[in-house]
Amino acid sequence: MALTGHEKPLNEYTKKELIQIAKSYVIYYVSEKGSGRTGGYEKLNKEKLISLIQNDIDYRRSNPNLQNRPNNRIEKLVNSLYGSETPEELMDAIIESLSDNESNSISSGGYYTFIYYAKTPGIIYDQHPLILAGDITENGFFGFNYHWGKIRQYTYPEVASPLFPVSLYEFNSLRQLPYAKFIRR
């Protein structure tokens, strides 16, 4: 009988069983080299496998204990990807998926993604940030950018798209996508 990953807590499975579960859901992840993968699970440690499985949309959807799950506008997008999309193609698809809820303002504590063009010459920046918004300033805001893994400052004139607020579920789905675009100004 095939394992679903719902028979017992994930940390009670062996690494071999976790690999079998990951293969059954064809879990997409970003390798250490930055490329999208749907295989090579044997190279991952047990903790990484558990994290990938827990955050996988198909795994969560198959959970018989989940009822009345919130709407996740990114699920369909994640399930439609081939793994060879460029960051620009992914960002375009993300914007299309989130276009029903655009914002020109930000709230501290909310999750957002947007297009950003830094004005400071010579710096490297993420053109497609995924952030947890922090302090709001007169000219912009601070946010923890999950692509960088640190707090960054953003100014409103350099925000080149609407701000797209996302739910926690959508945020977790977006974290699976390699749409960060690091460029030097």
Asked if residue 117 and residue 85 are part of one domain, the reply reads yes
pLDDT 10s digits, 112-144: 999 999 998 999 999 999 999 999 999 999 999
Does 121 fall in a domain?
A: yes
Same domain, yes or no: 87 and 54: no
Q: What domain range is 46 assigned to?
A: 10-61
The CATH number of the domain holding residue 104 is: 2.30.30
Looking at the fold, whether 44 and 82 belong to one and the same domain comes out as no
The answer as to whether 27 is a domain residue is yes
Let me know whether 123 and 170 are in one domain.
Answer: yes
Residue 81 placed within a domain: yes
Same domain, 94 and 125: yes
DSSP assignment of 1-38: ----S-SS-GGGS-HHHHHHHHHHHT--EE-TTS-EES
Whether the predicted model's global pTM rises above the 0.75 cut:
no
Question: Is 68 within a domain?
Answer: no
With respect to residue 66, please indicate whether it lies within any of the assigned structural domains: no
Neighbouring-strand partners of residue 130: 113
Tally the domains of the chain: 2
Domain assignment present for 3: no
Region of 5 (left: φ > 0; alpha: ψ -120 to 50; beta: rest) is left
pLDDT digits (tens, 9 = 90+) for 32-70: 777 777 888 998 999 889 888 888 877 877 877 665 556
Q: Are residues 51 and 79 part of one domain?
A: no
